Amino acid sequence: MAASLHPSVRVNSVIGTGHFMSHFYQLCLPPMFLAWQSAFDVSFAQLGLSLALMSCATGLLQTPVGFLVDRYGARPFLIGGTLLMSLSMAALGVATAYWQVLLLCLVSGIGNSVIHPTDYAILSGSVERSQLGRSFAVHTFCGNLGSALAPPVSAMLMILLGWRSTLLLVGLVGVPLVALILWQSAILREQVRRHEGARASVASSRKLLLSRSMLLFFGFFMLTAIAGSGIQSWLIPVLHEVHGVGIEAASLALTGFLGGATGGVLLGGWIADRSDRHLAFTVLLTIASAALILLVCFTSMSEIATIAVLLMAGLLIGASRTPRDVMLKDACPPGQIGKVFGFVSAGLPLGGALAPVPFGLLIDHGRPDLVLALAAVILMASLLCVGSARASAERKLIPEPAE
**Domain tally for the chain?**
2
Please tell me which residue, 21 or 193, carries the higher pLDDT value: 21
With a cut of 90, say whether residue 276 has pLDDT above it. no
Is 129 in the same domain as 243?
A: no
The reply to whether 255 falls in a domain is: yes
The reply to whether 198 falls in a domain is: no
Q: What's the CATH number where 69 sits?
A: 1.20.1250.20
Is 78 in the same domain as 176?
A: yes
> Averaged over 215-240, what is the pLDDT?
89
- pLDDT band for position 341 (cuts 50, 70, 90): confident
Please tell me which residue, 72 or 399, carries the higher pLDDT value: 72
- DSSP per residue over 105-119, as a string? HHHHHHHHTTHHHHH
> Averaged over 47-60, what is the pLDDT?
84
Is 80 in the same domain as 219?
A: no
Q: If you average pLDDT over each of 1-10, 40-49, 189-198, 384-393, which comes out highest? A: 40-49
What is the identity of the amino acid at 149? L
Please, where are the H alpha helices in 244-277? 247-274
Is 335 in the same domain as 215?
A: yes
CA dihedral 261, 263, 124, 228 (to 10 degrees): 10
With a cut of 80, say whether residue 285 has pLDDT above it. yes
> Averaged over 54-67, what is the pLDDT?
87
The reply to whether 403 falls in a domain is: no
Identify which of 172, 143, 145, 169 has the alpha carbon closest to the alpha carbon of residue 156.
169
In this predicted structure, what is the pLDDT of residue 201?
Answer: 62
Mean pLDDT taken over the chain: 85
pTM of the model as a whole: 0.81
> Averaged over 188-195, what is the pLDDT?
60
With a cut of 80, say whether residue 388 has pLDDT above it. no
Backbone angles phi, psi at 48, to 5 degrees: -60, -30
Is 224 in the same domain as 158?
A: no
315: enclosing H helix or E strand: helix 303-330
With a cut of 50, say whether residue 400 has pLDDT above it. no
In this predicted structure, what is the pLDDT of residue 403?
Answer: 39
Query: For 347-384, how does the pLDDT look when each residue is reduced to its tens digit (9 = 90+)?
Result: 888 887 777 778 888 888 888 889 999 999 999 999 98
- DSSP per residue over 19-35, as a string? HHHHHHHHHSSGGGHHH
With a cut of 50, say whether residue 386 has pLDDT above it. yes
With a cut of 90, say whether residue 73 has pLDDT above it. no
In this predicted structure, what is the pLDDT of residue 188?
Answer: 73
Q: Are 142 and 70 in contact (CB under 8 A)?
A: no
Domain residues for the domain of 17 are: 2-191
In this predicted structure, what is the pLDDT of residue 199?
Answer: 52
Is 113 in the same domain as 241?
A: no
- pLDDT band for position 111 (cuts 50, 70, 90): very high
Is 12 in the same domain as 146?
A: yes
The reply to whether 225 falls in a domain is: yes
In this predicted structure, what is the pLDDT of residue 198?
Answer: 42
In this predicted structure, what is the pLDDT of residue 107?
Answer: 95
> Averaged over 218-228, what is the pLDDT?
91
Is 331 in the same domain as 207?
A: yes
Is 78 in the same domain as 172?
A: yes
Query: For 135-191, how does the pLDDT look when each residue is reduced to its tens digit (9 = 90+)?
Result: 889 998 998 888 888 888 888 999 999 999 999 999 999 888 888 888 877 777 766
Least reliable range by pLDDT among 65-69, 110-114, 188-192: 188-192
Please tell me the distance from the alpha carbon of residue 271 to that of residue 278, in angstroms, as a whole number: 8
With a cut of 80, say whether residue 78 has pLDDT above it. yes
